[in-house]
A and B are shown apart, each in its own frame.
Chain A
Amino acid sequence: EAGVAQSPRYKIIEKRQSVAFWCNPISGHATLYWYQQILGQGPKLLIQFQNNGVVDDSQLPKDRFSAERLKGVDSTLKIQPAKLEDSAVYLCASSLLVSTDTQYFGPGTRLTVL
């Protein structure tokens, strides 16, 4: 069974630029999550989708971050414009049905904002 795929693995941009990350969850998983992990911290949930609907985006900085999950499969997370404090690893995870199911994580995208 293929795991959660993410791309790119690494990205370096300058502040005020925009960037997008892509995630392909495990086939058949209805729920998809984006987490932000700052160095030395645990992952923090940014947004959760169930199929193509948003379940929770309470910690997403909506003035600069956006995410979509068209057709309920792949998802894209965008930052525009980026700030220095956005430097982090962005992890995508998926679970079969609901958030109480085991979550499977992708390898993450390491973003550096200069």
Chain B
Amino acid sequence: KQEVTQIPAALSVPEGENLVLNCSFTDSAIYNLQWFRQDPGKGLTSLLLIQSSQREQTSGRLNASLDKSSGRSTLYIAASQPGDSATYLCAVISSGGSNYKLTFGKGTLLTMNP
């Protein structure tokens, strides 16, 4: 059974800093890995999707890496801004019998300090 862990559970950083969020998964046989953002009272927004054959993906100030063999991914946020405050969720697509399922971590709550 696939399990996804995110560390830390919460993070408070000064505005302008670069930061790293960590994600680990127990079964390395994944199809892809996604990072989502969730704002309070809202649904999930997909930030980056990394296919299992890829090592990293970049979008603006965000960079996600994937090391499938060690079961790890990191989300790097450069020059953090107040609007980056949100919960960041890592999720992997892996086979669950006859179907592929998205398994989520519990998320990292990011709070920006002015």
Measuring CB to CB, which residues of chain A are less than 8 angstroms from any residue of chain B? 4, 33, 40-45, 48, 55-56, 58, 91, 93, 98-100, 102-108, 110
Contacts and interface: CB of A to CB of B under 8 A. Distances in A.
Contact of B42 (A41, A43, A99, A107): A107
Decide if the interface of chain B is mainly helix, strand, loop or mixed: strand
A108 B43 contact: yes
A100 B106 contact: no
Contacts of A107: 41-43
B101 A99 contact: yes
A41 B106 contact: yes
Contact of B46 (A45, A56, A102, A108): A102
Contacts, number: 56
Contact of A103 (B41, B102, B107): B102
Contacts of A108: 41-43
A36 to B, nearest CB: 11
Interface residues of B, number: 26
A33 B98 CA distance: 16
Contacts of B101: 45, 56, 99
A51 to B, nearest CB: 14
Contacts of B104: 42-44
Contacts of B107: 42
26 contacts: A33-B102, A40-B106, A42-B4, A42-B91, A42-B104, A42-B107, A43-B44, A45-B102, A55-B99, A56-B99, A56-B101, A93-B44, A98-B100, A99-B99, A100-B31, A100-B32, A102-B49, A104-B46, A105-B43, A105-B44, A105-B45, A106-B43, A108-B41, A108-B42, A108-B43, A110-B41
A108 B49 CA distance: 22
Interface of B: 4, 31-32, 34, 36, 41-46, 49, 89, 91, 93, 96, 98-107
Contact of B105 (A42, A55, A91, A105): A42
A43 B92 CA distance: 12
B93 A99 contact: yes
A56 B98 CA distance: 9
A48 B105 contact: no
